[in-house]
Structures are given as structure tokens and as C-alpha cells.
Amino acid sequence: MTPTVFPCYASADREIAAGIAAFLERGAEVRVFLEEGEIRPCEDMAQKAREGRMADMVLVLFSRHSLPPRWPRGQWEDALVREPAEEGVRMAFVKCDDCAPPRVLVPQFQLYSLELAGLRQVKRWVRNKTATYAPQMHLCGFVDAGDLEVLGIATADRPGTETVGSAALAFAFARAYREDFDETLALECGDRTLTALAGDLAAQLGLRLEGDLQANLERLNDFCSARRFLLLLLDVRTSAFPDLLFGGHCSTLIATGALPEPVPMDPLREIQHAFTHLDPKADWSELCRLARMGRRLTRDQGRFAECYELIEQWHAAAELRYDCAVLDESARELVWILEGWGRTDEARRIEYRRATEFDEQMTLPF
């Protein structure tokens, strides 16, 4: 369910309260009870704070308009301190002008005007989450603070997509604004296929996607667009992958510049690289070993779209060499995956060709 915030504020402070509400709803995935939080002439701050505990969080806006000249501790201590603690309701105090609230109620935030720095502090308190991924400092390099601020307005204060020419700037942004996102996900694009990138992203998210590429992209879109993620698309050499721009609550930062240092490849990615950059002089038996290893890795991880892509590449390479044994083996694998996806017509066509062309020409054991 969407978290809720109840701002307690005087009528004269409505502009500040409305600005906070708009900023939070745009960038923190919360619902703000703005109308309900206004203190009416017959109410006081303590009454309104008690009413506010219907929400998950209460923001109390202190100002000369909301604080009485004299406010004995017995009138506010239960409503603003003891009762919220007993009920587990998060409550924060915002100082909006030069008023003097009780010393015990130290304001966490000062927001004399709707400046971004103060609004972001409030938003981060509301979100109470920090992305675990933080690029190492040496990858960030030196970047201009103004560039970071522009990206912050475009993609951290609200969902959005931006393109930068430097991977260092993308890393610096991810580090500086990690409190504004539930998680940061990084994909090195380079010349990798969309199928491989989708599988990589799903693995980072802990999702087991067993469908074909289109089904996997739809599942990723549903999952990511509903969450406040930051997706870094790094080393994008051609047009950005539109299928990885999820929208919704998700922000995307596209970096077209080269990476500061090479990204280590895991075994599956090394195998995928070998087949997308196929060397005609490569040892065929070694390629077959890699294909079978890739088949096992992708099957074990439920990454069948990548398995299908790899086996298709292996099958095409076998056709160039007219290796009937491999053609038969790879065709059987393609049929098995297609049948699992319910694409029976395609499976039948491949099976017919396998049975009529490859199976008959295999060397018989007698």
C-alpha cells in the first residue's frame, strides 16, 4: 500500500505545506493528506497531531502562526512525544520561520522557503530508504556540482530519463543521490544484445524470468515502473534501448561515454561475448564446449531467452560447418524451449527440418 503523510500546519502556512506535499508526491511515492492537515480556527496543534496519527507519518510545521505564545508542556507532550512513540508513528518537526518551539521538540528540518535542499531532506526522511549500490569514488572522478544538481532536479526529485556523455558523471550522481532511490541498478550495454541485458537486469533484481524476450521485458517493466529505482545504462554506443526505459516511478540515466575501467565478465557473459563476436578461426570443439556450458548456466538460472539466443547462434555456426551432430543437438534444444513457451508452430518447423535434414545424415552406430 502507498505510505501516507499527514502535515499539520496553520492556514497561513498553506503555501509551504502545499509545496512540501507536491514535492513528496512527485518523488517519494506517498499520499499526502494536505486538506486534512490544515489547523482550523477551533483546533490546535496537539489536536491536529493526534488526528494525524491515522497516517503512517506526521509532519508538524512549526511557525509563528501554528505555535501559541505560551504552550505549557502538559498540552503537547502526550500528543507530540509519548503517544506517537507508543503507537510507532513516525513524526518529524519542520521549522518554517523564526519561531521558538519547545526545546524538547527539536526540529529535524528548517524550511523557511521552498528551497530544494530542505525539501530533499524532508523527502529522504519520508522515504527512509537508501540504495545499497554506491560506485567507488575513483570511478566518479571530478564532476561539476552544477551538473549533479541539474540531474537531481530531472531524475531524483521526480521520475525521469536523462542522457550524459560521461560514465563518471553517472557514477557520481548515483553516489550523491542514493538516498532518493530504493535501489540503483547498473547495466554495461556496449555491444551486448537486448536479451542479455534483460537477463542481466533480472538477475540483479533476483527475478527468475523463464519467458521469451518480449514476456521478460513486460515483466521487467511492470516490476521496475512500480518502484523508485535508478537504472544506469552505461557505455551506450548506439541509440538507447527503448525497451529498458521503464517509466513509472523508475528513473533512467543513459551514459554514452566509455567506462573508466573494464567491467569484469562472469562466465555466462564471457560465453555470450564469444558467440556475438564469433571468430571464424576459433577452435570449434572449444566453442561447442562453451555453448553447452552456457546452456547449463542459463537453464539453471531460468534464463531461457538467453539460452534460446545462445543456442540459435551455436546452431547458425554449426550450419556454416555443416556439423550434423551439433545441428541435431541444438535443434532439439530450440524445439524444447519453444514448446515450453507455447510457440508450437515454430517448434514444429524446426523439428521437421531436424528430422528430415540432420537426423538422417548422422552417422549410425552400426
Taking phi first (over 0 means left), then psi (-120 to 50 degrees means alpha), and beta for anything else, what does residue 151 get?
Answer: alpha
Query: Cell 492537515, residue?
Result: 37
Q: What confidence tens digit (pLDDT) does each residue in 67-97 have?
A: 988 888 888 999 999 999 999 999 999 999 9
Average pLDDT, the chain: 92
Q: How confident is the model at residue 103 (pLDDT cuts 50, 70, 90)?
A: confident
The DSSP call for residue 149 is H
Q: For residue 360, is pLDDT > 80?
A: no
Query: Distances from the Cα of 281 to the Cαs of 225, 284, 312, 318, 321, in angstroms?
Result: 44, 8, 19, 14, 12
Residue 214 has pLDDT above 60, yes or no: yes
Q: What is the pLDDT of residue 141?
A: 81
CA distances (Å), origin 6, targets 34, 58, 60, 61, 91: 7, 5, 8, 11, 9
CA distance 257 to 70: 60
What are the C-alpha distances in Å from 128 to residues 27, 94, 141, 158, 359?
13, 17, 28, 16, 61
Angle, CA of 285, 289 and 293, to the nearest 5°: 170
Mean pLDDT lowest among 17-31, 150-164, 228-242, 341-355: 228-242
pLDDT for residue 105 is more than 50: yes
Which of 44-58, 133-147, 281-295 shows the lowest mean pLDDT across its residues? 133-147
At 240 the pLDDT is: 63
Provide the pLDDT for residue 357: 85
* pLDDT top residue among 74 and 318: 318
- pLDDT greater than 60 at residue 157: yes
What pLDDT score does 363 carry?
A: 46
- Of these ranges, 126-140, 170-184, 226-240, 247-261, the one predicted with the greatest mean pLDDT is 170-184
Inter-CA distances, 280 with 31, 287, 293, 318, 321, Å? 59, 11, 20, 11, 10
Q: Look at residue 268 in the predicted model and tell me its pLDDT.
A: 96
CA dihedral 324, 330, 334, 339 (to 10 degrees): 80
Beta bridge partners of 162: 253
Q: What pLDDT does residue 93 have?
A: 95
**126 pLDDT more than 60:** yes
Across the range 311-319, mean pLDDT stands at 96
- Averaged over 25-53, what is the pLDDT? 94
Tell me what the mean pLDDT of segment 222-228 comes to. 96
Residue with cell 528551497: 115
**Residue-level pLDDT at 366:** 40
Give the count of alpha carbons within 13 A of 239, CB side only: 2
Identify the bridge partners of residue 187 per DSSP, sorted by sequence position.
233
Share of the chain above pLDDT 70, in %: 98
- What is the average pLDDT across 240-269? 89
Which residues make Cβ contacts (< 8 Å) with residue 356, sequence separation at least 6?
none
